[in-house]
Amino acid sequence: MEITEEKTSAQNGVENDYVLPRRFPLDNAATIYPAARTNTYACTYRICFIMKEDVDPDILRQAAKDIIPRFPTFFAQLRAGLFWYYFEQTSDNDIVVEEPYYPCYRLKLLDSDKPAFRIIYYKRRLGVEVFHALGDGSSSINMLKTLVARYLTLKGENIPDDGSFPSLDDKPTEDEHADMFQRVYEKRLGKPEKETSSYQYKAKTIPNYFQAVHGIVPVSDIKAVSKPMGITLTEFLVANLLYAIYLNDPENRKEIKVSVPINLRPIFGVESLRNFSLFTNVGFVPKDGETTFDDIVASIKGKIKENAQRENMKKAVSRNVGSARNPLLRFTPNVIKRPLLKACYHLAGQSKFMCSLTNLGICEMPQEMLDHIDRMEVLLGGAPKETLACAVTCLNDMLNISFTGTTKEVSIQKNFFRLLSSNGIRVRVESSNKESWEDK
């Protein structure tokens, strides 16, 4: 899967400018998403800002139009080739919609001239819902920041370019749009260790249902608790989540594992506007008798950092790219490959963790933008059979911990936030399910 040299005649600029081919291959991490999608679920996630004022849809539409040339890989739709899926840049880029049905509502793929993402707004909420094959959270945040900056500029605000997001004055570069996994790949690296399967949370799921529970927590409150334990904020949240899962089913003795995505950009020192992250699973085995929070902390302490070391990540990338380069797989027609990949994903990927916890870190932007934004939310569509997923972001020194899932069950979320508040952490909870707004 090498990048083609095919160039569009429509995009002409200075000779040295990088022009993305109109049709381009999926990156290595993206190949799994078209295979894993189902009828009701399309591997979609949402990143949004809660503005201080209601969103103006007309200005937003204009802003969306203005960012198209800067993010060519996003304005693309999935197409099926004989052996692999690929992306084709789209002609109909009118994708601003008032929030439809429910969060992460299935995006139309393949048979559409619209891109595989949408821009949503509802009252103060402004965000994007993206098919994961287009790009990972970091790249979508960058696009969203540029979109919001443009939106605010069109509203008459003066937003300086401080380098914290891609500027519309800059041209797209080859590095931003290349498949970075191919560059990191090295032949004949040792294989990563085999993984054990994880305990799975069984709750009644409802097709086409999606619920988000947000916890808003001051960063200082969490750091005040995690620092004395000698663990990072992410480790604290992972331990807290593992403990919440454990408390939900204390009889279970199977290893409970949480999948934590690792952003490879800082590790390999690159900027990419496509997928460039990998997962690592961390967990603990509940012992006979009571497992305490400290036991869990002891078993995961330093694990994420250790797994995320450059050499380990290189091994994992090389394994993934290596298997995609296997001639047997390459020349298997897509119709056969898709169910194969789907089965592999369930057996080798999804069974190894119960829930994912993404920490997208601190979202940096100029103060002039922050003045117009209340907070930030990330909702993970999760894997097809994953009933619960969790994403964390930080804006204005406030953490937003969002649990999402296709079930109405909230017992793990309840345990999680009760554990936080029992540690003296201030928590505010909001839910997308408005049933608790009315008396029964």
Partner 1 sequence: MRCRSCNIDLGEEYVRCPLCGEKASPDEPVLSGLRTAEYPDIKYRKNPKSAFLIYVIIYAILCSAAIVADLIINRRVSDSLWAVFLLPCVWAILFRPLFIHKLYIGSYIMQDAIYISVFMLWCAKSYMRDFSYAIYSGVPMICTISAVLIFVGIFLFPEKRVTALSYFIALFVIGLITLIISLACGYNCVLPAACTVSSNLFITVLAMLEPNEVRGELIARFRA
Interacting residue ranges for partner 1, rule: CB under 8 A: 1, 4, 6-9, 21-25, 39-40, 50, 79, 81-84, 86, 88, 91, 98-99, 101-103, 122-125, 207-210, 212-216, 218, 330-331, 374-375, 377, 410, 413-414, 417-418, 421-422, 426-440
| Complex with partner 1: residue 55 or 300, whichever CB lies closer | 55
Q: Whole-number minimum distance, CB 390 to partner 1, in Å? A: 14
Look-up of token digits 């990998």: 278
| Residue 2 beta carbon to partner 1: minimum distance, rounded to whole angstroms | 8
Closest distance to partner 1 from the beta carbon of 387 (Å): 17
Rg (CA), the chain: 21
Selection from 45, 61, 63 nearest residue 116 by Cα? 45
- What CA–CA distance (Å, rounded) separates 53 from 418? 31
Q: Are the C-beta atoms of residues 314 and 189 closer than 8 Å to each other?
A: yes
What is the residue whose two structure tokens read 């934004």? 373
The total of other beta-carbon atoms located within 10 Å of residue 15's CB is: 5
**Toward partner 1, which CB reaches closer, 313 or 399?**
399
Helix (H, G, I), strand (E, B) or coil at 269: coil
CB 97 to partner 1: min, Å: 12
- Token reading at 104: 């992460």
Residue 11: closest CA among 60, 64, 78, 75: 75
Residue 82 vs 336, nearer CB to partner 1: 82
Nearest distance from C-beta of residue 405 to partner 1, angstroms:
13
Work out how close the CB of 177 gets to partner 1 at its nearest, in angstroms, rounded to a whole number: 16
Instruction: List the end-to-end C-alpha distance of the chain, in Å, as a whole number.
Output: 56
Sign of the C-alpha dihedral computed for residues 334, 338, 340 and 344 taken in this order: positive
Pick 86 or 243: Cβ nearer partner 1: 86
| Closer to partner 1 by Cβ: residue 210 or 246 | 210
CB 124 to partner 1: min, Å? 6
Contact 307, 282 (CB under 8 A): yes
Contacts of 365 (CB under 8 A, 6+ apart): 145, 149, 162, 164, 165, 373
Tokens coding 398:
């406030």
- Residue 205, token pair as written in the block: 């799921």
Write the CA distances from 49 to 373, 400, 429, integer angstroms: 7, 11, 17
Least separation in angstroms between CB 356 and partner 1: 21
- For 325, the enclosing helix (H) or strand (E) is helix 310-325
Q: Which two tokens stand for residue 96?
A: 């601003």
φ and ψ of 129, to 5 deg: -115, 120
Closest CB to partner 1 among residues 24, 353: 24
Q: Which of residues 15 and 438 has its CB atom nearest to partner 1 in the complex?
A: 438
User: Cβ 145 to partner 1, closest distance in Å?
Assistant: 18
- Nearest distance from C-beta of residue 352 to partner 1, angstroms: 28
Q: Choose between 98 and 157: whose C-beta lies nearer to partner 1.
A: 98
Q: Give 100 or 163: the residue with its C-beta nearer to partner 1.
A: 100
Token code pair at residue 383: 């894997």
Q: Considering beta carbons, is residue 21 or 366 the nearer one to partner 1? A: 21
Contact 265, 276 (CB under 8 A): yes
Q: Report how many helices (DSSP H) and strands (DSSP E) the chain contains, helices first.
A: 15, 15
